[in-house]
């Protein structure tokens, strides 16, 4: 007797294929040390890091996928990490609330006007930015003495 691979079996096979492809895409977005590099919060994609040459090179490779780069440092130029980032749109709606794992924070936002509040060691620095979809912008945040 010949097995019958009907619609149910084909649907199951398609479901398994979708799971395998999803797992592969998650692995692609993972860094060499197993930590995810691209994340999403509230529909906004972002990546952070830049501590060390390898991390900076990984972020640079992803830069074309984003339209805004935030750089966090002291006035002396020394980079800082663990910066809380809050981005709100022109209506005051918070689109992203995350913590940067390094001095670089990349995000993709729809074209528009935003307020970015970056908080390091309890001190908040605010910036207004107009984001264009096709143009890459870099915004520096600096804090006082170390």
**pLDDT on residue 106:** 93
**pLDDT on residue 23:** 32
Write a three-state SS string for the chain: CCCCCCHHHHHHHHHHHHHHHHHHHHHHCECCCCCECEEEECCEEEEEECCCHHHHHHHHHHHHHCCEEEEEEECCCCECCCEEEEEEECCCCEEEEEEECCCEEEECCCCEEEEEEEEECCEEEEEEEEECCCCCEEEEEEECCC
* pLDDT tens over the chain, length 146 residues: 555 545 444 443 343 333 333 333 333 344 444 344 788 777 888 988 877 777 777 777 777 888 999 999 999 999 999 999 999 999 999 999 999 988 999 999 999 999 999 999 999 999 999 998 778 899 999 999 65
**pLDDT on residue 32:** 44
**pLDDT on residue 54:** 79
Q: What is the pTM of this model?
A: 0.71
């Amino acid at each position: 007797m010949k097995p019958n691979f009907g619609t149910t079996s084909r649907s199951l096979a398609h479901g398994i294929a979708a799971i395998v492809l999803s797992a592969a895409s998650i692995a692609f977005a993972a860094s060499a040390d197993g930590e995810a590099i691209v994340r999403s919060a509230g529909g906004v994609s972002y990546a952070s890091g830049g501590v060390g040459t390898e991390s900076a090179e990984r972020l640079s490779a992803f830069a074309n996928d984003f339209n805004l780069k935030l750089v966090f440092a002291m006035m002396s130029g020394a980079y800082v990490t663990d910066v809380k980032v809050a981005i709100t749109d022109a209506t005051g709606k918070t689109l992203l609330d995350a913590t940067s794992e390094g001095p670089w924070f990349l995000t993709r936002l729809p074209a528009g006007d935003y307020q970015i509040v970056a908080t390091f060691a309890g001190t908040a620095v605010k910036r207004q930015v107009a984001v264009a979809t096709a143009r890459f912008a870099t915004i520096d945040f600096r804090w006082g003495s170390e």
